[in-house]
Structure 1
Amino acid sequence: MADNRVALVLIDVLDAFFAPGRPAYYPDSVKALDPLRALLTKAREQERLIVHAVERHRPGLADFEHKKIPVHCEIGDDQSPYVAGFEPLDTPNEIEVPKRRYSAFYATDLDLLLREQGVETLLVAGVKTNVCVRATIQDAFAGGYEILLAKEATNSNRPHLAEASLEDIDRYFGSVVSVEQALERL
């Protein structure tokens, strides 16, 4: 890896959110796919650390998240596959971080992994802006990382909450940037 201080963190680029007919699908999700693809392509070209943070719930076991939202993304179900082309490559710098909560940091080894690689800046993208993206960014901020959120590469089924989250993220936790600016940082 050339400059390991910047890592790309993709949040929940899974069929559950992007494939029509899935319970978590919403039509605007697909608007983020081209910007997400551009970021992933550039990160791969630059040999950046790429973290695929994805929902992975255990089938048949209690999960506190299910008290608030329907069962989703159970290991092996039809919602869990990656959107085609977003599967992690079999290289050391592309990893999957399974998560059972909204934040990619909560109860995972993400922080340890990033610190061991010398990462200081996280370029975050994915769904949903007001839930998993925001929770991950808040925890990253608490951990002392510089955070960039690529505006066009995130959205939500609740646009008013996504807009409020973008404002809060830019004001309190990091910087909301254009995809072009994000590509420059990669």
Structure 2
Amino acid sequence: MVWSNNLEINAERGKVVVLAIDLQEANWPGGDWPVHDFNGVLERSAMVIGAAREAGVPVIFTRQWHSPDGSDLLRYEPLNEEGLPPHCMAGSKGAELSAAVSAQPGDIIIDKTRYSAFFATRLEIVLQRLGIERLIILGVWTDACLETTVNDAVWRGYRVTLVKDAATTATATMHKSAILSMANWLYGGEILTAHAAVEALAGRDHKSWRFTKPSQFLFEADTIDTLYEQI
């Protein structure tokens, strides 16, 4: 387990992007897909996104975005009572990005129909065109959309910086478990807080946990909280 103070992100300027996963209106309490502490995650995500823009680092947003006819849903995904997609239907309020992190001119929006932002989207083409080597990843559904996107990024040879407190899922425990699971296989990656990410994007020294070997965190239900704080 390694903690490091480093300027790696600054050294990689021009090869870094912020990838914000599914920060959509559906995630508010009462929405189709409510998540834990969405307001706090939006605030911290906005900090990182703002720092990226100031540093000239590209920002990519993803949206879960389904056709109203349901033709792009998972084969066995249930429809709602009206026979329509149950969440994030194109053009619906729930599918829109939250106003707290709304896209600005120059930002890129990638619409997706599956958990991973890489599956059947133009994301990898965009990353290759930009010459990206490192993804700073944040957003919602840590154990689904984030985890599958992170795994796909690592398998494709990208380095991932995971912003642990600018991510969330249905419960805090589910979130922490997913972060630990990703940490176990985050080859070439690091995990840090939103504050540290802001420092890194500003070109200042920052503290982060860095991957050194696989399966470091052999967590159980009663050790999740303690181990999560070590990252």
Aligned partner of 1:74 in structure 2 is: 89
Q: Distance in 1 between matches of 2:133 and 2:93?
A: 35
TM-aligned CA deviation for residue 68 of structure 1? 4.4
Task: Determine helix, strand or coil for the equivalent of 1:79.
Answer: helix
The TM-score with structure 1 as length reference comes to 0.90
Task: Determine helix, strand or coil for the equivalent of 1:147.
Answer: strand
| C-alpha RMSD of the superposition | 1.8
TM-aligned CA deviation for residue 158 of structure 1? 3.2
Q: Distance in 1 between matches of 2:179 and 2:100?
A: 27
Aligned partner of 1:8 in structure 2 is: 18
Aligned partner of 2:226 in structure 1 is: none
The partner residue of 1:53 within 49, 62, 65 is 62
Aligned partner of 2:180 in structure 1 is: 167
Aligned partner of 2:196 in structure 1 is: 181
Q: Distance in 2 between matches of 1:133 and 1:176?
A: 13
Q: Distance in 1 between matches of 2:41 and 2:77?
A: 25
Question: Which has the larger displacement, 68-77 or 152-161?
Answer: 68-77
TM-aligned CA deviation for residue 61 of structure 1? 2.5
Paired residues for 1:78-93 under 5 Å: 78-91=93-106
Task: Determine helix, strand or coil for the equivalent of 2:170.
Answer: coil
The partner residue of 2:43 within 13, 28, 34 is 34
TM-aligned CA deviation for residue 172 of structure 1? 0.5
TM-aligned CA deviation for residue 69 of structure 1? 6.3
**Structure 2, unaligned runs of 5 or more:** 1-11, 80-85, 202-231
Structure number with greater Rg is 2
Contact 2:135 2:159 in 1 (8 A): yes
Aligned partner of 1:44 in structure 2 is: 53
1:140 aligns to 2:153 (yes or no): yes
TM-aligned CA deviation for residue 60 of structure 1? 1.3
TM-aligned CA deviation for residue 22 of structure 1? 1.2
TM-aligned CA deviation for residue 64 of structure 1? 3.8
Query: Aligned partner of 1:156: which letter?
Result: T
**Structure 1, unaligned runs of 5 or more:** none
Total equivalences in the alignment: 182
- Can you list the C-alpha shifts for 1:108-155, whole angstroms capped at 9, x where unaligned? 111121111111110000001111011110100011011011111001
Using the aligned pairs only, state the percent identity: 26
Query: Aligned partner of 1:151: which letter?
Result: K
Task: Determine helix, strand or coil for the equivalent of 2:50.
Answer: helix
